[in-house]
Amino acid sequence: MADVKFDVLGIGNAIVDVLARTEDDFLAAQKMAKGSMSLIDEPRAKAIYDAMGPATEISGGSAANTIAGVASFGGRAAFVGKVKDDELGKTFTHDIRAAGVSFNTSPAKDGPSTARCYVLVTPDGERTMNTYLGAAQNLTPQDVNEDEVAAAAITYLEGYLWDPAQAKEAFRKAAKIAHGAGRQVALTLSDAFCVGRYRAEFLDLIKTKTIDLVFANESELKSLYETSDFDTALAALKNDATLAVVTRSEKGAVVAAGDRTESVRAFPIERVVDATGAGDLFAAGFLYGFAKGFPHAASAKLGAMAAAEVISHIGARPERKLSELARENGLKV
């Protein structure tokens, strides 16, 4: 087996988040379902931007946030995602490289502009997202570098990537390369609405062992198995998945591997400022620990700590170096 160059390589949508605080009344006026992620076109993107309050631009994207988190733990990280050669594209490229992540995907010279996600944060910390995928949808199998994937201990894929057909093929190509090189493949289900669109395909990926590790939150898990009962859904997932991690907000997380289930408490936090990126950063901590060969519970504790850090401030990337924060809290990194 070739040497491991990266602990985790993520493939996902390269997006710049445009964040603004808002009230529930604004969501109602804009006919937005609170807590959801909606895909929008460019005219709708402009209309939302014009209507929303003062905003902050921060590089985001689900898998990109996770990979930035892995790097913050001190992991060797890489990301594959498509931007356009425009201002937001330059912002994304600068930010992810500055986070210590290897990012070599060639930017698009023409076509739609770099993807952006308008994130509306209500006073309770809940986020409602409207995403214009733009250039991110044009990720193709040619953007997947075989040598990079083969050199990564874990290839991490985001469920949102399942929307565009070409990106789906890139996803499948990466999984095949990873397994061909004896590596692991992980998937996050991303969003309950995303699961609703691709339930059968996601279940197939899990059951056929195209995926070795699956991440889900409680609502995504219930959507996957079309049940309102958590225990029923978890039992079904344990039967289908090799290894699964289910996050449950303030209830912590559950790691399921075969017949064994381990629960990990949520990390204490004074106040939830912005829930954006909580699941992404939980995955970062778990993936870092998993790549390092840590026990599942220890990996989940790193995830819980990273999630707590990111929800304590606006934005979906850590503001503290997660390796230092882990040591302060007596966690191995």
Residue range 321-333, pLDDT digits in tens = 999 999 999 999 9
Q: What is the mean pLDDT of residues 249-273?
A: 92
Q: Which of 170, 165, 205 is nearest to 187 (CA)?
A: 205
The CA distances from residue 267 to 54, 127, 171, 277, 326, in Å, are 31, 20, 32, 15, 12
Q: Which two tokens stand for residue 241?
A: 């998945």
- Domains of the chain and CATH, by start: 6-328 (3.40.1190.20)
* pLDDT value at 220 more than 60: yes
Q: What is the mean pLDDT of residues 270-282?
A: 88
Task: Give the separation between CA 101 and CA 201, rounded to whole angstroms.
Answer: 30
Q: What is the mean pLDDT of residues 135-157?
A: 96
pLDDT band, residue 258 (cuts 50/70/90): confident
Half-sphere exposure (Cβ direction) of 243: Cα atoms closer than 13 Å: 14
Phi, psi of 5 (to 5 degrees): -95, -35
Residue-wise pLDDT tens digits, 86-143: 999 999 999 999 999 999 999 999 999 999 999 999 998 888 999 999 999 899 999 9
* pLDDT value at 154 more than 60: yes
pLDDT at position 259, please? 86
The 10 Å Cβ neighbour count of residue 44 is: 15
pLDDT at position 316, please? 83
DSSP 250: G
pLDDT band, residue 172 (cuts 50/70/90): very high
DSSP 314: S
Helix (H, G, I), strand (E, B) or coil at 120: strand
pTM of the model: 0.91
pLDDT at position 134, please? 94
Q: What is the mean pLDDT of residues 74-92?
A: 96
Q: How many residues in the chain? A: 333
Helix (H, G, I), strand (E, B) or coil at 145: coil
pLDDT at position 2, please? 64
* pLDDT value at 1 more than 60: no
